[in-house]
Amino acid sequence: MKRSKPIPGRYLGYRAADKAQAYARHFNPVLPPIAPHVAEALDRGGVPEVIIPDWERAAGSLFGGETAPEDGYVLTSDGGMRVSVRSLMPGVTPAMVDWWFGWHGDEPAKYKLWHPQAHIHVGWRGTPPAGTSGRALYIGQTSIVDEYIGSDLVRGAIQFVSPADMGLADPSLNDDQTATMVCARLGLGDAPIDIGFLAHHVRAVPGGSEMRSRFWMGGRHVAGRNLIGSVAASVAKRVLRLTDSDARAVLVHCAQEMPHLATFLPALYAEFGPGAG
């Protein structure tokens, strides 16, 4: 995975200015343990490429009858990887997740709540529409993030798109009390290169929600955003191959940040969400 250079003044954890924020009481540097079903997937290791579908077939496993591992990863023959992670989120509704993805993107201290041991910085590339929240705020926007994936510092460009743009439209997503899906094109924040896709499907279950996350990265999904990026991407596809360590790091990162989000999101939403006093 491509490492980024640190930018002076950006740091892990909370300092005095972060602790002064109104939401700082929700910061907890201790992460929950990795869920047993994720630990089992890590113990199992990579699975054959045919078992985890590529993103063109994702709708079948997320909304249809096609079965696929909910936790696991595969290294693809073209040098890429696919990762699946399932996260249980007690007390969380799909609407809360939509609100979170719009709310946290304008301040690093908000972003650090999510993964206190890996998240460093966040900012919108452009200015989101005024007076919006949730889906209306983040879809169509690009979030530039500095975070650790495993031990690698990565500067990413998360370009949020609608589920329909990724071929993942489904009637269940029309009611955010029942389900939502956060979709994005993944790219590099310091180069005009895209490297993959992600989808977080959140559906209500008794007692909260279940998030089913999918990542498709590297290999044929690498592309340039302009002419210079396209040239660089063509070289990258020939010489770079994602590794077992890369796939495991993405799986672990997601399996840490989403359950941790669930530990404080209901209270944060009640305090700062729509209609909060």
Per-residue pLDDT of the chain (277 residues; tens, 9 = 90+): 668 899 999 999 999 999 999 999 999 999 999 999 999 999 999 999 999 989 888 888 888 777 888 999 999 999 999 999 999 999 999 999 999 999 999 999 999 999 999 999 999 999 998 889 899 999 999 999 999 999 999 999 999 999 999 999 899 999 989 999 999 999 999 888 899 999 999 999 999 999 999 999 999 999 888 756 565 656 566 557 899 999 999 999 999 999 999 999 999 999 999 977 6
CA distances from 160 to 26, 65, 84, 194 (A): 26, 27, 19, 13
Q: How many residues does the chain have?
A: 277
CATH number for the 72-272 domain, one of 3.30.70.2740, 3.30.530.20, 1.25.40.10, 1.20.1530.20? Answer: 3.30.530.20
Question: What pLDDT is attached to residue 89?
Answer: 98
Nearest Cα neighbor of 110 from 179, 25, 169 is 25
Please say whether the beta carbons of 132 and 274 come within 8 A.
Answer: no
Query: 72-75 and 81-90 as β-strands: parallel, antiparallel, unpaired?
Result: antiparallel
Q: What is the pTM of this model?
A: 0.94
- Give the domain ranges of the chain: 72-272
Please say whether the beta carbons of 218 and 195 come within 8 A.
Answer: yes
Query: Which residues, at least 6 apart from 145, have a Cβ–Cβ distance to it below 8 Å?
Result: 111, 119, 121, 122, 155, 156, 158, 189
Question: What pLDDT is attached to residue 239?
Answer: 53
* DSSP-H helix ranges across the chain: 16-19, 36-44, 58-63, 94-103, 108-114, 135-138, 227-239, 244-272
